[in-house]
Every structure is written in C-alpha cells, then in structure tokens.
C-alpha cells in the first residue's frame, strides 16, 4: 500500500556517496535527471492528486469489493477467501519494480496504469449484468490490483526522486492525507451512491454498476490531469541487452540481501500489521453483517428491520467518511510526532501500542450487539473512529522504519518496494483466514483472536534493529 504518511528526516546515501534525498533534488547513483516542463511544477500541483490516485483503486479492491459482494448476498468466508489472496499483487512488486526503472519514465507508467484501471473499473461495472459475475469480478480485481501496485511503485519513485529531503518532510503528511481522501471517495462516495440508488428503487446490481462508473471516470480524469503536471522522476540508465537487464535485477536483489540486520528488520515489518490484517476485511463485514448473525446491522438498502437496523449509507458515512477524516488527522499527528521525537526503540514501541491496543473497540462492539436493542450509530461511530485513529497514528512508524532503516542505498525505490511487498505478505493469510474464523467462532471470539495476534507486533517493535543513524537536523 502504499501511502508514506511519515516524516523522513534522513537523506539516504547511495553506495557512491551521493545523496538520494538532498535539499535540491538529486538522484540514486546511475539515474538520469529527465528534463521536462512538469519537473519544475510545485509539488502542490501533483502530490495530492498522485496519492489520491493511489488510494482510490486500493480501497476499491480491499474494501469496496467486499461491501459490494456482501450487499449482493455472499458470505464472509466466500468474500475473504476470494479477495484476500488478491493482496499478493502488492507483494509481487519486487519482482518487477527494477524493470520499471529501466524502461520508460515513471510518469509514463503512472499515467498508463491509471488509464488501464479506468478501463478495468468500467469492465467491472459491465460484468455485474452477467450470471457468473462473481468469477469475472474476481479476475478483474486481480488485474486492477496489479495495475494499482505498478502505479504505487512509480508514484513513490517520482516522490522520492523528484523531491529533496526538506520537501519530502513537508509533503509526507499531505500525500498520506490524500491517499486517505482516495479511500473516502471509494468507501464513502461510491458505496453511498450505490446505497442511495437502491433506496430510490434501482436494482442492486444496476446501482453498483452506476457507482463503479463514477470511479472509472475519476481515474480517467486523474490520468489526463497527470499527463500535464506529473514530473517524470529520475530514469535509470537503459540496459543495452537482455543480459544487462538480468544483471541489474540480480544486483538489486543481492544489494538488498547485503543490508545489515536484514532478517531482524524484515521480521519487524512482517509482524507489525499482524493483528490489523485480521481486521482489514472482516471489520467492515462485521459492521455490515445482520444483527441476527452477530453483526452491527448496517445493511439496509431500503426499509430498516430488526436484522438490518441501520442503512448501508450509515456504514459509508462512518467507515468511509468520518473514520477516514479522523485517520487523516491522526496520520498527520503521527508524522509530527515522528518528526519531533525521531524513530527510535521507545517511540517505535509506543506507536506499536497505539496501533494495536484500539483493536479492542471491535470486541466491545461485538459484546454490545443485541437483537432487542441495536447499537446506536453514535456509539458505533465513536468506537470505530478510535480504532482508526490509533491505527493511523501507529502506522506512520512502520512506513518511516522501512524508509529510514531498510530502503536507503543504491536502489532506494526498488528496495522500498521490497519492503512494502513483505509488509503486505502478512495481510494475505490473515485476511483469508478472517472470514472463515469469524463465521466459525462468532464475532466476539474472533475479535479476541485479533487481540492475541496483536501482541507479536509490539514485541517485534521492541526488538527491531536500528542499523542506520538518523540525523533529524541534516538536510544534505
């Protein structure tokens, strides 16, 4: 995934001693600065929209697809088993990230992938008219995830290689905020449109097709806009032969393996989101589940009932809009906290506790579910946003650790992609298991399992190695 909601205070050094992130943009050794009118544009012109474009497709695959399938009558087990494995596409980034550096500019790949994603969202909308739409949509989601992951690599690459250390610090909060704005657009606006159209009498599939058409238009417009304003980023020296391509890829991989304390650092990255991985897909499904099945009943698309006492639009409002706005604020606070106190063992453990402890709010909600007295929207909104606030504040530490401790070096962008891929690997088995566990254990017991799974995250933070010294006052 990709938002870097952090403040990076340390300029990474390449093996040649060149500053990767200096006060004025300079690039990874072996890279070429690409001259372009858009290269001189203010970061305000492209950083917000670039990360908005990152957030939309990720949210469509991870959250909106599950909401759509749940609304169309599919079980939690069916949804999580079918959609969780799609997350592996974000973990395959290291296998081809280096090749993107070799062919075309980063801007080319960003714009191309955004156009591809617009087309795929249109196909998703059209496929809902088919009898076997579920299988077709899952295939389209795999393709959408691949395009999204490819876009993420290159947007992060443009960010890292186009901005100096000072601007990176200034804009990390902004890009994280707009990544979350993309999530708001998907989980609040798209879901809200589908729910509203159903309340006005439109068939469920037709309503979702219309809403998906809106997301298709948004991605197409972002692609057109970025063709004018997005900087090209740095371009790696082009290999002359296929052998040179293979040798560069090997060099990137071997360079990564030679990093000091690599095993300890990757163990931390793998464990940090363990508990959250169980919540990522299942928590929204718990909110949408019928009260008779232990859910919060935010599933009504017409008249409310005892099983569905709240409208689906309320879920879009709380889980999509309110909690994400809170996430923006606490993500920025996490960045400010990390920028002021730096990332060390004490601050890392503190932020790990902030990430994991609020998971208990979903256990509390599951205990409050009763067919006789539905949980009020105000209580749901309060507890869900508390969990989102803690997650957003603590998540900053994970991204900053990968940026400052693991990825600096000759292949900064590629190695950062390695890190995010390994981070996402945790999410695949936990998301796949979440629906099955919730269906078999019931929500109360399931959320206790989530709390137990959160403990290794804090332990991993305590033992995480810090091989790189970070000078927060350094600008060069």
Dihedral pair phi/psi, residue 269, rounded to 5°: -60, -40
In terms of C-beta density within 10 A (0-12 exposed, 13-18 middle, 19 or more buried), how is residue 456 classed? middle
Interval 277-297 mean pLDDT: 94
At 235 the pLDDT is 62
* Unique residue bearing structure tokens 């006052």: 473
- 3-class SS of residue 298: strand
* Alpha-carbon span 180 to 168, nearest angstrom: 18
pLDDT at 212 over 80: yes
**Please, how many CA atoms are within 13 Å of residue 61, restricted to the half-sphere of its CB?**
28
The candidate with the shortest Cα–Cα distance to 444, out of 333, 376, 365, 391, is 365
Domain ranges of the chain: 42-235, 255-468
* Alpha-carbon span 339 to 400, nearest angstrom: 10
At 448 the pLDDT is 97
pLDDT at 61 over 60: yes
pLDDT at 166 over 90: no
Query: Residues 405, 454, 63, 291: what is their CA dihedral angle, to the nearest 10 degrees?
Result: -170
Interval 358-376 mean pLDDT: 94
Q: What is the per-residue pLDDT across 294-346, written as a single tens digit (0 to 9) for each?
A: 999 999 888 889 999 999 999 999 988 898 889 888 988 988 898 888 889 99
Q: Which stretch, 97-101, 364-368, 414-418, has highest mean pLDDT? A: 364-368
Interval 395-404 mean pLDDT: 88
Residue 26: pLDDT band (50, 70, 90) is: very low
pLDDT at 468 over 80: yes
Query: Comparing 42-235 with 255-468, is the CATH topology the same?
Result: yes
Residue 361, both tokens: 């709010």
Residue 383, both tokens: 């507890």
Fold for the domain defined by 42-235: Growth Hormone; Chain: A; (1.20.1250)
* Alpha-carbon span 450 to 364, nearest angstrom: 13
pLDDT, averaged across the chain: 85
**Please, how many CA atoms are within 13 Å of residue 30, restricted to the half-sphere of its CB?**
19
At 329 the pLDDT is 87
Q: What residue spans of 230-318 are helical by DSSP H?
A: 242-257, 262-272, 274-288, 312-315
Q: In Å, how far from its chain's centre is CA 225?
A: 22
Residue 7: pLDDT band (50, 70, 90) is: very low
Dihedral pair phi/psi, residue 22, rounded to 5°: -95, 175
Q: How many Cβ atoms sit within 10 Å of the Cβ of residue 44? A: 11
- Looking at 1.20.1250.20, 3.40.190.10, 1.10.150.300, 3.40.630.10, the CATH number of the domain 255-468 comes to 1.20.1250.20
Residue 1: pLDDT band (50, 70, 90) is: very low
pLDDT at 196 over 70: yes
Q: In Å, how far from its chain's centre is CA 157?
A: 16
The candidate with the shortest Cα–Cα distance to 462, out of 357, 348, 353, 359, is 348
Question: To the nearest whole percent, how much of the chain has pLDDT over 70?
Answer: 86
- 3-class SS of residue 399: helix
Residue 284: pLDDT band (50, 70, 90) is: very high
Residue 24: pLDDT band (50, 70, 90) is: very low
Q: What is the per-residue pLDDT across 352-363, written as a single tens digit (0 to 9) for each?
A: 999 999 999 999
pTM, two decimals, is 0.79
Question: To the nearest whole percent, how much of the chain has pLDDT over 90?
Answer: 56
404 vs 98, higher pLDDT = 404
* Alpha-carbon span 304 to 312, nearest angstrom: 10
Interval 192-198 mean pLDDT: 94
At 2 the pLDDT is 41
Q: What is the per-residue pLDDT across 375-392, written as a single tens digit (0 to 9) for each?
A: 999 999 999 999 999 998
Interval 94-117 mean pLDDT: 84
Distances (CA, A) of 232 to 226, 292, 417: 10, 54, 18
* Alpha-carbon span 37 to 355, nearest angstrom: 41
The candidate with the shortest Cα–Cα distance to 14, out of 3, 30, 4, 29, is 29
pLDDT at 253 over 50: yes
Q: What is the per-residue pLDDT across 129-165, written as a single tens digit (0 to 9) for each?
A: 999 999 999 999 999 999 999 999 899 888 888 887 6
């Amino acid at each position: 995934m990709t938002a870097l909601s952090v403040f990076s205070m340390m300029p990474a050094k390449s093996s040649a001693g060149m500053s990767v992130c200096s006060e004025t943009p300079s690039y990874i050794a072996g890279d070429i600065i690409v001259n372009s009118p858009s290269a001189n544009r203010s970061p305000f012109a492209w950083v917000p929209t670039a990360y908005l474009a990152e957030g939309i497709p990720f949210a469509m695959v991870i959250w909106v697809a599950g909401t759509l399938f749940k609304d169309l009558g599919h079980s939690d087990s069916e949804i999580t088993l079918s959609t969780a494995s799609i997350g592996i596409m974000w973990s395959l980034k290291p296998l081809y990230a280096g090749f993107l550096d070799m062919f075309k500019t980063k801007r080319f790949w960003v714009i191309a992938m955004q156009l591809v994603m617009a087309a795929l969202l249109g196909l998703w909308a059209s496929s809902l008219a088919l009898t076997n739409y579920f299988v077709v949509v899952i295939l389209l989601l795999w393709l959408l995830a691949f395009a999204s992951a490819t876009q993420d690599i290159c947007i992060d690459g443009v960010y890292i290689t186009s901005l100096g250390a000072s601007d990176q610090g200034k804009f990390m909060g902004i890009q994280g905020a707009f990544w979350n704005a993309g999530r708001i657009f998907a989980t609040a606006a798209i879901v809200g449109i589908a729910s509203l159209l159903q309340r006005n009498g439109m068939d469920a599939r037709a309503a979702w097709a219309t809403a998906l058409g809106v997301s298709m238009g948004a991605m197409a417009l972002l692609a057109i806009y970025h063709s004018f304003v997005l900087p090209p980023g740095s371009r790696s020296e082009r290999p002359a032969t296929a052998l040179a391509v293979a040798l560069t890829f090997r060099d990137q991989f071997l360079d990564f393996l030679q990093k000091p304390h690599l095993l300890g650092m990757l163990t931390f990255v793998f464990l940090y989101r363990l508990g959250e991985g169980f919540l990522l897909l299942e928590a929204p499904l718990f909110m949408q589940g019928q009260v008779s099945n232990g859910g919060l009943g935010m599933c009504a698309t017409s008249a409310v009932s005892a099983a569905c006492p709240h409208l689906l639009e309320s879920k879009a409002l709380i889980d999509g809009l309110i909690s994400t706005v809170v996430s923006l604020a606490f993500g920025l606070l996490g960045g400010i906290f990390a920028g002021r106190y730096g990332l060390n063992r004490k601050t890392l453990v503190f932020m790990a506790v902030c990430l994991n402890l609020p998971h208990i709010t979903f256990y509390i909600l599951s205990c409050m579910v009763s067919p006789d007295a539905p949980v009020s929207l105000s209580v749901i909104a309060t507890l869900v946003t508390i969990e989102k606030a803690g997650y957003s504040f603590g998540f900053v530490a994970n991204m900053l650790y990968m940026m400052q401790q693991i990825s600096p070096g000759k292949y900064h962008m590629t190695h950062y992609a390695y890190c995010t891929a390994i981070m996402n690997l945790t999410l695949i088995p936990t998301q796949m298991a979440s629906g099955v566990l919730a269906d078999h254990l019931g929500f109360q017991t399931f959320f206790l399992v989530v709390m137990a799974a959160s403990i290794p995250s804090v332990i991993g933070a305590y033992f995480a190695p810090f091989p790189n010294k970070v000078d927060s006052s350094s600008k060069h």
